Chains A and B, each alone.
Chain A
Amino acid sequence: MALIAVAFLLLTVVMPMHWLTDFAVFCILVLSFDLLYGYMGRLSFGHVLYYGVGMYAASLALVHLAPNPFLAIGAGIFASAVLSSALGFIVVRTEGATFALVNLALNQIGFWLAMSGLQAYTRGEDGLSSSVRAIGFLDFYKVPVAFGFMLVCLLLVFGLLRMLTRSPFGILIRSIKENEERVKFLGYDTLRYKWLTFVIAATLAGFAGTLHALVKGFVAPGDMGPLENARVIFAVLIGGAGNLYGALVGGVVFETMINLLATNIPRWEMFLGIMLLVLVFWFRRGITGYIADLARKFSRSRGKPAERLP
């Protein structure tokens, strides 16, 4: 945890701080996706739907209720939790490609609602602006404050997910990834736990969405467009799926690349495609997976056992 904080603080030396604020928010989204995909093995092409729901709920709360950041966060978390609880009953009954595409379809519907269906509330393509009142020293218009706040949020989410993934529950969802049928014969209602994991992942994505709304003060349908899922999937693959540190490394590396590529090269998307090919063919387990493999090779050549028990 301290390591993550130090790493982010050190990065402020080489990058503008407002980049890192955005990175921290994006990393929360990537972490939430990693729980669903990396740990439980369920690939969704519609995860940013819940990011969008959190984002719009937060903005609407800021505009219509009160410009209080904590109210906005509460509204965003509540909305994404409620929606994912309801839709979760449908989506966790599907597997594999169907799961991915059902989520994509729902994301598409959500995108359309933001774009035109609910235009009266979302202002459609024009986007929705909101402002946040400062509470004491907590003023989101001051870059270091916003950065510090997002970093703390990132650490909280990371800590929560680390606890969840190291617990017996973590073993359960990894078991579901490997062989769901088998888990049923250990006496667990897998549907219930798949639903729960889906809701946790979606709600954390919604939380990331609220932070996006707070720090940007402006949200638009494009932020939750179906194509945005590619960014999240990319980031997880780059860092290494099924590893929380991987999600962080992937989130930061991916966003850095995008920022640098986009400012220096027109039509930079091609480089992402090439990068994906390299990952798929040579670095299946991403950056952290590659490092872990190297470390294992190294320790084995020195004759250390794979794992020691106390």
Chain B
Amino acid sequence: MISAQGLTKRFGSQTAVDQVNLKFVEGQASGIIGPNGSGKSTLFNMLTGHLPPSVGKIEFGGLDITALPPHERVGMGMARTFQLVSVFDSMTVWENLVLSTGRFADRGSGHRQFFFGPARSKTILENCLGALERVGLQDKAGARTSELSYGDKRMLEIGIALSLKPKLLLLDEPLAGLSDHEIGDVVDLLHEMKQNCTLVIIEHKISKIMDLIERLSVLNDGVLICEGDPEAVLNDPGVRECYWGKQVSNAKG
């Protein structure tokens, strides 16, 4: 589905991601873990086109997409969510979904509707409400987004990503900052999404998604130190050292 070869990102003298080779298989759900600052989000930003890699190549569906801008990657079926929830606070909840459900970026007959048709038209509203129903927010469609709880905003963000009908969805810490109850909702939704979408999930709360993922990769200091079956990876001595070893030395310091 998507693969990276020799992917490297340098910021000045810092190397945030170093020579990473990765491959995410179609239909699988994969997890990425690693200590803070290990380059997980930078990796995501390169895969989605937010940051250009310093060196390396990214392929998506067999095509080289290294130089493609984000919007074209979205057009090819890639969607993402952000570490800090990113939705449009100044608008109402349903308005957040107009652009992603509409697929107005397609050229052709949609153009007139896009520029001159009211956003509040019946079809657009129905599409938006349908997308909101999937994430359980249909009752809050008319609310101001700034008034939603953090958990609801996360759900809305996932709803936006889903309404793009992605083949590949990259989620950057989807469970961070949520209550246990909200975590349950998001995890249920992830299970449902897995049926028709390849998932890549950065997450610290790995225990919550162990049932979901088939594969786990570990980054440390920008280097991919281990990958494979999640259980096996978590028991890998190198991984244990990078997590527990550091904690021990921190405790001493």
Contact = CB atoms under 8 A, between A and B. Distances in A.
Contact of B88 (A163, A178, A188): A178
A184 B117 contact: no
Nearest to A305: B142
A171 B164 CA distance: 17
B98 A189 contact: no
A246 to B, nearest CB: 16
B43 to A, nearest CB: 16
B119 A186 contact: no
A183 interface: yes
B144 A187 contact: no
A309 B116 contact: no
Interface in A289-310: 305-310
Nearest to A196: B115
Given A166-B119, A167-B115, A171-B95, A306 B142 contact: yes
A175 interface: yes
B160 interface: yes
B147 to A, nearest CB: 8
B116 A172 contact: no
B116 A163 contact: yes
> What band does the interface of chain A fall in when counting residues whose beta carbon is under 8 Å from B?
20 to 34
B74 A170 contact: no
Contacts of B160: 186
A168 B105 CA distance: 11
B66 interface: no
Interface in A179-238: 179, 181-190
A273 to B, nearest CB: 30
A260 interface: no
Contacts of B60: none
A182 B86 contact: yes
A90 B249 CA distance: 53
Interface in A151-166: 163-164, 166
A182 B74 contact: no
A52 B114 CA distance: 31
Contacts of B114: 167-169
Contact of B48 (A168, A177, A185): A185
A187 B80 contact: no
Interface string B62-103: 000000011100110001101000101111101100111011
Interface string B131-166: 000000000011110010000000000001000100
Contact of B98 (A164, A168, A187): A168
A170 B114 CA distance: 9
Contacts of B144: 306-307
B143 A183 contact: no
Contacts of B50: 181, 185
Contact of B71 (A169, A184, A308, A309): A184
Contact of A188 (B92, B99, B125, B129): B99
A168 B90 contact: no
B104 interface: yes
Contacts of B20: none
A174 interface: yes
A175 B95 CA distance: 10
Nearest to B122: A310
A187 B117 contact: no
Contacts of A305: 142
A95 B95 CA distance: 25
Given A166-B120, A168-B113, A187-B100, 17 more contacts: A163-B115, A167-B114, A167-B115, A171-B95, A174-B91, A178-B89, A182-B86, A184-B74, A185-B50, A186-B160, A187-B71, A187-B105, A190-B71, A309-B129, A309-B141, A310-B120, A310-B122
16 contacts: A163-B115, A167-B119, A169-B114, A172-B104, A178-B91, A179-B88, A184-B49, A185-B48, A185-B70, A185-B79, A186-B71, A186-B100, A186-B160, A187-B164, A188-B105, A307-B92
Interface of B: 48-50, 69-71, 74-75, 79-80, 82, 86, 88-92, 94-95, 98-100, 102-105, 113-120, 122, 124-125, 129, 141-144, 147, 160, 164
Interface of A: 163-164, 166-172, 174-175, 177-179, 181-190, 305-310
Q: Which 7 A-B pairs have the closest CB atoms?
A: A187-B74, A307-B142, A184-B70, A309-B142, A169-B115, A186-B99, A171-B98
